[in-house]
Structure 1
């Protein structure tokens, strides 16, 4: 059940000799690299396991061909977020070790953190683990509570407010993600045009800002193997900022597949397994835990679907250009279509 690395995908290798020299010069008593593996999940940043004779680390770097995505895959910012969270006293994160912007070391910027061993529920394998419905219920409740706890951090006292500009956050996000979609578009998807128009025409006022994770789902948390409802660490802070907390909730809900959803959406998150909260139950628990008004959550759910569709489109665009050869990306256009249709269906039914 442990989240273990596998062999590195062809074309995504790390120069072990160069990395060893760099680590030996920057980390005291780092030891000799004995193994480099790759964590196979995820479609975005590449994540590697680094085992030395002394310790175990995780290395994060941008995907190949990602330099044309403006503002994305910023390893320095992700490292800064982890550092600030540790300084703020938040412990459910890996310990950041170093950031390197010298691309001559492995061909890109990267950062290193201490590995947090545990279980990560990835959609392709979660069903085979045989997790009981009672455990899944407690875990899904714990996930909601963890998100509410993140939103309860004092962004002013901790200095986390410096991570973003909350004024006008929703409008900037809607406009920004629409521009990203246009830049990465390869095919006509009418439902994406409909969603972009809806989001622009129905902009709500911003709620008081909180810290936002912006990619909060099962495969971005590390679970205690001795009790899966115990969340050891929250991972993947690439898109962390400050802004309207319902943007975060909407993104999480957009990942929160249910049994009747299409296969692509179920491939993103094992929340469809028996015992999990439904999307409506997720929203109610968050409202109870945070005391926030979630009556307009449909808008944020639709935005989450649109944003996730744009991310998938960007990855598909890189594949079409030949910037990555990962065959998992060959049929991602169907994912864009599935997410967009889920958004239009939610609007038609006025329900998520």
Structure 2
């Protein structure tokens, strides 16, 4: 539990608004990586993001990386949370933390249905998909060097490292064979994108990691949860977003394509066209990115499955991993992309 009195003293010393007022707080979410609380002091409202005491030591560095990204987004047209203040000194609350602006709106995460009017108005729902694609299209246009993120990642040789890096990762955790892994890996080794323009990556871009404004039309309020943020290839975010997107979003099975109901959403081709228009990037090589996204996501989820134990949520990753790897190998086999 956060010592909110110590937090109040630090906020006062930092010169933040609301000096001397008591802190009202409300737990928003949390897990093994971060805890998030709403903070209210008088008329001021913000959110604290801090690793819990039991989080791995590298989360201290991670929380400061997150801060660098949201601070860099200030003044851009990327929907984002306001960067309020950061504390790298772990002696204040036990871990480094930062404060960000409170976002009015809603998250698709944890919902069984879309909120009104998107639950029944499929034309309005289409805007949610367009806005999702637009978020990373705008992100891809940010001048990361000018924003001080020149040392955030390792953009040089990004694609040269992917297969070797994730193959080594899988070998460390391997507990079973993953059919299709070798075939997709060989296909990726033999190919590269048509062009590679480094930019800021979210790293886990999907409906679960954005917020929308209340009401229609659909308006993206903020990209959130920057734990995997880096400088790399932004088009991998696009592929991450659409790798399981159904070809026909009007079909009944689109309601079961993921953790949200995709009926009424734009088709994959329309999303690709919208991304290309807003970002100014070509998407003719999207098959390469989708194979990489499925292959990589399968490896990432396999780690959770291998340590699942009695955790039913992690156990459920088992068949998902196999489907993703199969999908990566099948696309690699049938794609006409040669680079």
- What band does the TM-score fall into relative to the shorter chain? 0.7 to 0.9
> Structure 1 residue 346 and structure 2 residue 335: aligned?
no
Q: Distance in 2 between matches of 1:104 and 1:318?
A: 32
> Structure 1 residue 202 and structure 2 residue 186: aligned?
no
- Matching residue of 1:80: 68
- 1:91 deviates by 5.9
Q: Quick one: which of 62, 79, 83 aligns to 1:92?
A: 79
Cα 1:261–1:311, aligned 2, differ >3 Å: closer, same or farther?
farther
Cα 1:103–1:337, aligned 2, differ >3 Å: closer, same or farther?
farther
- 1:78 deviates by 0.6
Q: Distance in 2 between matches of 1:71 and 1:176?
A: 21
| 8 Å contact kept, 2:107–2:211 | yes
| 8 Å contact kept, 2:236–2:289 | yes
Q: Distance in 1 between matches of 2:52 and 2:176?
A: 23
- 1:224 deviates by 1.1
| Structure 1 residue matching 2:36: 3-state secondary structure | strand
| Structure 2 residue matching 1:190: 3-state secondary structure | coil
- Matching residue of 1:26: 10
> Structure 1 residue 39 and structure 2 residue 29: aligned?
yes
Question: Within 5 A, what are the aligned runs for 1:61-80?
Answer: 61-62=50-51, 67=56, 74-80=62-68
Q: Distance in 1 between matches of 2:61 and 2:170?
A: 16
Question: Within 5 A, what are the aligned runs for 1:207-246?
Answer: 207-246=196-235
Q: Distance in 2 between matches of 1:61 and 1:190?
A: 39
Larger Rg: 2
Q: Unaligned stretches of 5+ in structure 2?
A: 13-17
- Matching residue of 1:293: 282
Q: Distance in 2 between matches of 1:65 and 1:198?
A: 40
| 8 Å contact kept, 1:33–1:50 | no
Q: Unaligned stretches of 5+ in structure 1?
A: 1-14
- Spell out, residue by residue over 1:318-339, the C-alpha distance to the aligned partner (whole angstroms, 9 max, x if none): 444xxxx864223222222222
- 1:66 deviates by 6.1
- Matching residue of 1:283: 272
Q: Distance in 2 between matches of 1:115 and 1:128?
A: 20
Q: With the length of structure 1 as denominator, give the TM-score of the two structures.
A: 0.77
- 1:297 deviates by 0.9
- Matching residue of 1:9: none
| 8 Å contact kept, 2:128–2:219 | yes
- Spell out, residue by residue over 1:228-254, the C-alpha distance to the aligned partner (whole angstroms, 9 max, x if none): 511121112222222333222222222
Q: With the length of structure 2 as denominator, give the TM-score of the two structures.
A: 0.80
- Matching residue of 1:166: 155
- Matching residue of 1:122: 109
| Structure 1 residue matching 2:282: 3-state secondary structure | coil
The worse-fitting range, judged by mean Cα deviation, of 74-83 and 25-34 is: 25-34
| 8 Å contact kept, 1:253–1:304 | no
- 1:313 deviates by 2.4
- Matching residue of 1:50: 38
Q: Distance in 2 between matches of 1:196 and 1:63?
A: 36
- Spell out, residue by residue over 1:92-145, the C-alpha distance to the aligned partner (whole angstroms, 9 max, x if none): 211233444566776654433222120112364235751511112122122222
| Structure 1 residue matching 2:241: 3-state secondary structure | helix
The worse-fitting range, judged by mean Cα deviation, of 168-177 and 158-167 is: 158-167
> Structure 1 residue 332 and structure 2 residue 321: aligned?
no
Across the aligned residues of Structure 1 and Structure 2, the Cα RMSD in angstroms comes to: 3.4
Number of aligned pairs?
324
Cα 1:341–1:81, aligned 2, differ >3 Å: closer, same or farther?
same
- Matching residue of 2:302: 313
- Matching residue of 2:166: 177
> Structure 1 residue 152 and structure 2 residue 136: aligned?
no
